[in-house]
Amino acid sequence: MRVKSLTTLGVVLVLLASCGSGGSALDSLVKRASDRNHLTIGTRFDQPGLSERTLDGRVVGFDIDVAKYVANELGVSPDEITWRETEPKSREPDISSGAVDMVVATYSITPARKQVVSFAGPYFVTGQDLLIRLNTPDITGPESLNGKKLCSVPGTTSADEVKRRYARAVELSEYPRYPACVTALLAGQVDAVTTDAPILAGYVTQNPELLKVVGQSFTVEKYGIGLRKGDVEGQNAVNAAIRKMITSGEWIKSLNANIGPSGYKLPAPPEVTETQ
């Protein structure tokens, strides 16, 4: 019995190691795309200019264009993609459980997240900023938020970053989605909304006569495509697709179409550097 138990344990450990490596054919994003000719991609449905579901059911934006380009390079056409809404707090569980094949959702690469998932990219580099009402002259940056009410969403580090580094006396509020934060801002229930600048710029496009972005970025956010932990083959393939999108001109074309109208200053293409 002991020999059998040890043998069984050995098999289990080998299988676990194979799954954990992600570089095996079983777990590779590349093989899943090839075998199924289909991908389930996690994204957001509430970020104008980046990833938004329209009233007629389409999913559009820069992140969506990036996801489609990568999928196409993996042999999956746009009509073979299932779009799944992935909120910040569920991104890692959705990837790890296999609920999605990858996440393209303004997903900042951080050391903590890299303990749980693998990233390809970055495909975009930006910074955190503040969205305020147009007639708010006393908010000029994160350090001016002491005594103010600041809104963000669960599962992000944006508001905590402000409180930890710039304004310990800021009052933090969380709403399930950014549009709810924006509604609270317009209603005067909060004084500012914080997240990455291009996300905020999208809401300015919807309310240009009422809102503005302060324009003082105070972090560096590198957006990556989230994959199952250890999927080296998938990571390499997605990195190659991102590089091709940039060199082909499709990257800047999508940015100009989706984010350019907001007035946000478009950054230079990033260097794709993520490896295991």
Distance separating alpha carbons of residues 204 and 230, to the nearest angstrom? 38
The structural domains of the chain, with segments of one domain joined by +, span 20-126+221-262, 128-213
Model pLDDT, residue 156? 76
Model pLDDT, residue 22? 37
Model pLDDT, residue 2? 28
Beta bridge partners of 118: 227
Question: What's domain 20-126+221-262's architecture?
Answer: 3-Layer(aba) Sandwich (3.40)
The reply to whether 128-213 shares the fold of 20-126+221-262 is yes
Domain at 128-213: CATH code: 3.40.190.10
Listed in order, strand segments (DSSP E) in the chain are 39-43, 46-47, 51-53, 59-60, 81-85, 102-108, 117-126, 128-133, 149-152, 171-174, 192-196, 211-213, 221-228
Model pLDDT, residue 160? 84
| CB 145 within 8 Å of CB 128 | no
Largest CA distance in the chain: 77
CB-count burial class (<10 Å; 0-12, 13-18, 19+) for 43: buried
| CB 167 within 8 Å of CB 146 | yes
Average of per-residue pLDDT values in the chain: 89
pLDDT in tens, 109-124: 999 999 999 999 999 9
> In whole angstroms, what separates CA 249 from the centre of its chain?
22
Q: Which residues of the chain have pLDDT under 50?
A: 1-26
Distance separating alpha carbons of residues 237 and 88, to the nearest angstrom? 25
**What are the backbone angles phi and psi of residue 251, rounded to the nearest 5°?**
-65, -55
